[in-house]
């Protein structure tokens, strides 16, 4: 009898639940970006969306419970289920990426690297929308400085509004989240930002179909990670590998 795990070649594991809507968005993008004609040609994916992982920002900023043990446990659960490559649709959780990578027995793709690989070559002034913890730990800032980019982030009450927008979306209030977030985007554009990184996986869900109202290029961190994972699969599967930098006019 053939082992079912052995039949699933080049399976991608999603270590999600941070939050569940962002995980569902990632699954949707795996389908949307995989341009095939049959069910059987889609990528085998195992999704773990167990939402009991402690709040990442609360841990990093105010000494709350650490999510690391949960992340490691679900990582190994995905490995045991047959995943050969792990992706994590949460930017703040990448504070623990290197530690998780050392614990893993399979490949992992970093959302920060995937996102920054999609920055347009001509872009010089970059804005970053992210959680307080992602900003405080400098996850993106260090990499952007190495690329010679000028970076703007919301500060003070503006960043407070970004965080309120993220938590409003998590609570199911899209209208409130947009009311809070959209003025912060306009403020960054007024500072000369030409490219805006959506460095929290709830941000693309808040902006959603309203992307055309803003005069800048958006980089969707979830979409970038999905595209990187698809390239991993294509390479493993002997397929033609998709380009690293697609034409990015907005949110897919």
The confidence score (pLDDT) of residue 239 equals 85
Residue partners of 72: CB distance under 8 A and separation at least 6 = 100, 103
Q: In this structure, which long-range contacts are made by residues 249-252, counting pairs with CB atoms below 8 Å and at least 24 apart in sequence?
A: 249/217, 250/211, 250/212, 250/217, 250/218, 251/198, 251/204, 251/207, 251/208, 251/211, 251/218, 251/220, 251/223, 252/29, 252/32, 252/33, 252/220, 252/223
Percentage of the chain lying above the pLDDT 90 cut: 85
Angstrom distance (rounded) from CA 153 to CA 124: 14
Q: Domain 113-220: give its CATH architecture.
A: 3-Layer(aba) Sandwich (3.40)
Q: How confident is the model at residue 198 (pLDDT cuts 50, 70, 90)?
A: very high
Average pLDDT over residues 112-134: 95
Structure tokens at 165: 């927008």
The confidence score (pLDDT) of residue 246 equals 58
Reduced 3-state DSSP string for 108-165: ECCHHHHHHCCCCCCCCEEEEECCHHHHHCCHHHHHHHHCCCEEECCCCHHHHHHHHH
Neighbours of 246 (CB within 10 A): 13
Q: In what order do the strands lie in the sheet with 85-87?
A: 45-48, 12-15, 85-87, 107-108
Q: Is the dihedral of CA 154, 181, 123, 223 positive or negative?
A: positive
Angstrom distance (rounded) from CA 45 to CA 87: 11
Query: How is residue 244 annotated by DSSP?
Result: S
Topology match between the domains 4-111+223-236 and 113-220 = yes
Angstrom distance (rounded) from CA 210 to CA 4: 43
If you average pLDDT over every residue of the chain, what do you get? 93
Peptide bond preceding 43 in cis form (omega within 30 of 0) = no
Average pLDDT over residues 184-213: 97
54-109 pLDDT tens trace: 999 999 999 999 999 999 999 999 999 999 999 999 999 999 999 999 999 999 99
Reduced 3-state DSSP string for 195-222: EEEECCCCHHHHHHHHHHHCCCEEEEHH
Q: 48, 90, 160, 216: which is the annotated catalytic residue?
A: 90
35-55 pLDDT tens trace: 889 999 999 999 999 999 999
Residue 90: active-site member: yes
Angstrom distance (rounded) from CA 83 to CA 73: 14
Q: How confident is the model at residue 206 (pLDDT cuts 50, 70, 90)?
A: very high
Residue partners of 182: CB distance under 8 A and separation at least 6 = 210, 213
Angstrom distance (rounded) from CA 64 to CA 81: 30
Angstrom distance (rounded) from CA 195 to CA 217: 5
Q: Specify the range with the lowest mean pLDDT, choosing from 4-13, 16-25, 55-64.
A: 4-13
Residue 160: active-site member: no
Q: 59, 85, 200, 216: which is the annotated catalytic residue?
A: 200
Query: Dihedral through CA 96, CA 120, CA 149, CA 141, nearest 10?
Result: -10
Q: How confident is the model at residue 245 (pLDDT cuts 50, 70, 90)?
A: low
Angstrom distance (rounded) from CA 101 to CA 108: 7
Q: Which CATH class is domain 4-111+223-236?
A: alpha beta
Q: Where are the domains of the chain?
A: 4-111+223-236, 113-220
The confidence score (pLDDT) of residue 207 equals 97
This prediction has a pTM of 0.93
């Amino acid at each position: 009898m053939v082992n079912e795990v052995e039949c699933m070649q080049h399976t991608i594991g999603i270590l999600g639940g941070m939050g569940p809507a962002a995980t569902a968005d990632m699954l949707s993008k795996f389908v949307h970006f995989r341009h095939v004609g049959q069910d059987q040609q889609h990528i085998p994916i195992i999704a773990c969306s167990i939402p009991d992982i402690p709040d990442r920002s609360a841990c990093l900023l105010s000494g709350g419970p650490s999510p690391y043990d949960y992340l490691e446990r679900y990582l190994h659960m995905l490995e045991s289920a047959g995943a050969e490559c792990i992706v994590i649709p949460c930017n703040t959780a990448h504070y623990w990426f290197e530690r998780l990578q050392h614990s893993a027995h399979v490949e992992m793709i970093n959302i920060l690297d995937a996102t920054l690989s999609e920055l347009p070559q001509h872009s010089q002034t970059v804005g970053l929308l992210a959680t307080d913890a992602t900003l405080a730990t400098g996850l993106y800032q260090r990499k952007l400085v190495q690329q010679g980019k000028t970076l703007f982030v919301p500060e003070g009450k503006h960043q407070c509004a970004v965080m309120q927008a993220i938590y409003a979306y998590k609570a199911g209030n899209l209208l409130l989240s947009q009311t809070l977030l959209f003025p912060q985007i306009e403020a960054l554009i007024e500072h000369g930002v030409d490219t805006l990184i959506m460095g929290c996986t709830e941000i693309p869900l808040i902006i959603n179909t309203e992307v055309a109202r803003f005069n800048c290029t958006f980089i969707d961190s979830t979409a970038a990670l999905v595209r990187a994972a698809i390239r991993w699969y294509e390479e493993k599967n002997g397929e033609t590998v998709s380009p690293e930098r697609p034409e990015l006019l907005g949110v897919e």
